[in-house]
Chain A
Amino acid sequence: MEKNIIYARPNPTSATRPVVFNPEICTGCNKCVNVCQTDVFIPNPIKRKPPIILHPDECWYCSPCIDVCPKDGAITLNYPLMWRIPWKRKDTGKHYWYGMKNPPPPNTRPMP
Chain B
Amino acid sequence: MYKDGNLHQWPYPIRYNQETEVDTDVLILGGGIAGCWAAISAAKSGAKVAIVEKAATITSGAGGSGCDHWINTPNPCSKVTAEDCIDWERENANGYINGISRYIAAKESYDTLLEMEQIGGKIRDTDDEFVGADFRDEQTKFLFAYDYENKFHFRVWGKTFKPALYKECKRLGVKIFDRTMATSLLTDGGKQGTKVIGATGLNSRTGELYIFKAKATVMSMSRHSRNWAFSSELTGLGQFRPNIVGTGYAMAFRAGAQFTLMERSVRGNLSFGISYPSYGTGNAMNTWYPCTIVDANGKEIPWTDRDGKELTDFPQRTHPAKDQKLFAERGMAYKYRRPDITPAMQDRVKKGEFALPLYADMTGMSKMERRAIWGLMVGNEGRTPVPILKTYSQAGFNPDKDMLQNYLMLGGDWLRGENLSYVRIGGEGPGDSGGLVVDWNLKTTLDGLYAAGDSLFAGNYHHHAAATGRYAGRKAADYAKPMNNVKPTRRQINQEKQRIYAPIKRKCGIEWKELNAGLVRVMQNYCGEYKNEELLNIGLTWLKDIEKNVAPNLYAANPHILMRALGVLDILACNRMIIHTSLARKASSTYLGFNRLDHPKIDPPAHHKWVTLQQENGSVKTGELPIDFCGDMESNYEAHK
Residues of A within 8 A of B (CB): 1, 5-17, 80-84, 86, 95, 97, 99-101
Contacts and interface: CB of A to CB of B under 8 A. Distances in A.
B16 A11 contact: no
Chain B interface size, under 10 / 10 to 19 / 20 to 34 / 35 or more: 35 or more
A58 B513 CA distance: 15
A7 B9 contact: yes
Nearest to B12: A6
B7 A9 contact: yes
A100 B549 contact: yes
B542 A8 contact: no
B545 A101 contact: yes
A6 B519 CA distance: 28
A80 B541 contact: no
Contacts of B550: 81, 99
B9 A101 contact: no
A99 B519 CA distance: 15
B14 interface: yes
B14 A6 contact: yes
Contacts of B334: none
B13 to A, nearest CB: 10
Max chain B CB contacts within 10 Å: which of A6, A12, A16, A100? A6
Contacts of A12: 511, 513
A11 B232 contact: yes
Contacts of A17: 508, 510
A80 B9 contact: no
13 contacts: A5-B9, A7-B557, A9-B1, A9-B557, A14-B516, A16-B510, A16-B511, A16-B513, A81-B546, A82-B518, A82-B520, A86-B542, A99-B550
Given A9-B557, A9-B561, A86-B542, 17 more contacts: A5-B9, A6-B557, A6-B558, A7-B7, A8-B1, A8-B10, A11-B232, A14-B511, A14-B517, A15-B514, A16-B510, A80-B514, A81-B514, A81-B518, A82-B517, A83-B521, A99-B549
B641 interface: no
Contact of B514 (A8, A16, A97): A16
B558 A7 contact: yes
Contacts of B515: 81
A71 B557 CA distance: 31
B348 interface: no
B177 to A, nearest CB: 22
B521 A101 contact: no
Contacts of B16: 1
Nearest to B232: A11
A81 B549 CA distance: 11
Nearest to B242: A11
Contacts of A14: 232, 511, 513-514, 516-517
B243 interface: no
Given A1-B505, A80-B514, A81-B510, A7 B521 contact: no
A81 B517 contact: yes
Contacts of B520: 82
Contacts of B491: none
A83 B521 CA distance: 8
A100 B595 CA distance: 30
A82 B229 CA distance: 12
A10 B37 CA distance: 35
Interface string B468-506: 000000000000000000000000000000000000010
Contact of A97 (B10, B542, B564): B542
Listed from nearest, the 7 A-B pairs whose CB atoms lie closest are A81-B518, A6-B10, A8-B8, A82-B521, A101-B549, A14-B513, A7-B7
Contacts of B549: 99-101
A40 B557 CA distance: 21
A13 B515 CA distance: 11
Contacts of A15: 514, 517
Contacts of B541: 95
B7 A81 contact: no
B510 A8 contact: no
A10 B8 CA distance: 10
B513 A11 contact: yes
Contacts of A16: 510-511, 513-514
B401 interface: no
Contacts of A10: 1
A5 B520 CA distance: 33
Contacts of B511: 12, 14, 16
Nearest to B518: A81
Nearest to B519: A81
B11 interface: yes
B555 to A, nearest CB: 9
Contacts of B17: 1
Contacts of B233: 13
Contacts of A81: 510, 514-515, 517-519, 521, 546, 550
A8 B545 contact: no
A109 B9 CA distance: 49
Contacts of A6: 9-10, 14, 557-558
